[in-house]
Amino acid sequence: MLKGRGFPALSFKVQGHMETIMNGWDHHMRQVPAVKPLGLFLLLLFGVVLTACQTLSKEECVAADWQVIGEQDGAAGHAPQARFGEHVRSCEKAGIVPDQTLWNQGYQRGLVRFCTPLSGLSYGERGRTYHNVCPVELDGAFRSGYELGRKKHGKANEISSIRRRISTKEADIRNLEALRSKGKIDENEAIRRSRDYRFDISDLSRELGRKEAELGQIEREIENFRLSVQFR
């Protein structure tokens, strides 16, 4: 009898049978062509992208209340044709055809919730793209908030960009100091380049101050806008 730590004793007959199975598996695996790392990565990436494109699972398609789904899509400001097309593709494998009439009824109700000044403000602040989905009678109110929100979003991005540029210059100065301390760069060259970087940082800091002041003004405009909407 063959014994191993933590395993019951095995007869030589069983042991031989197991070796036959393992040898067969070994042979089978050697016949399978190796998947190259790049190919495996692309395969996994394709799977992730395919999953991300699905708006609904098979189970959700089967149990779907298309009015409710349409209302959710409208309230989120999705472009109608593109969004409904995504639902069609998502439910195709489940053999389900979305009810466009019910979906559109819900979508129109959702737009009433979406097409408001404060919704537009929030949408713009997040940097989202407006797909011109609001009815004419609601579009102007939505855009009044949306444009203000986009203004804030754009200014915040400008400030982030300047801060990154300052951080890069500061890192360049630290790298120069490290090279100079190790004698890997000419002393005068290091001083000259470090001085140039500091001048750049000074200019960027002044620009940053201006942008932050502009952002502060936009935020005050937003606060006044919120108050005006509340008291209409």
pLDDT tens profile 130-174: 999 999 999 999 999 999 999 999 999 999 999 999 999 999 999
Q: 5-58, pLDDT tens digit by residue?
A: 333 333 333 344 444 444 544 444 444 444 445 544 444 443 433 444 688 999
Contacts of 146 (CB under 8 A, 6+ apart): 120, 121, 123, 124, 130
Contacts of 2 (CB under 8 A, 6+ apart): 9, 10, 11, 12, 15
CB contact at 8 A, 103 and 56: no
Residue 4: which H helix or E strand, with range? Answer: strand 2-4
Residue 232's pLDDT band, with cuts at 50, 70 and 90, is confident
CA distance 191 to 112: 62
Ranges of each domain in the chain: 142-232
Structure-block tokens of residue 69: 């789904």
Phi, psi dihedrals of residue 10, rounded to the nearest 5°: -120, 140
CA distance 90 to 92: 6
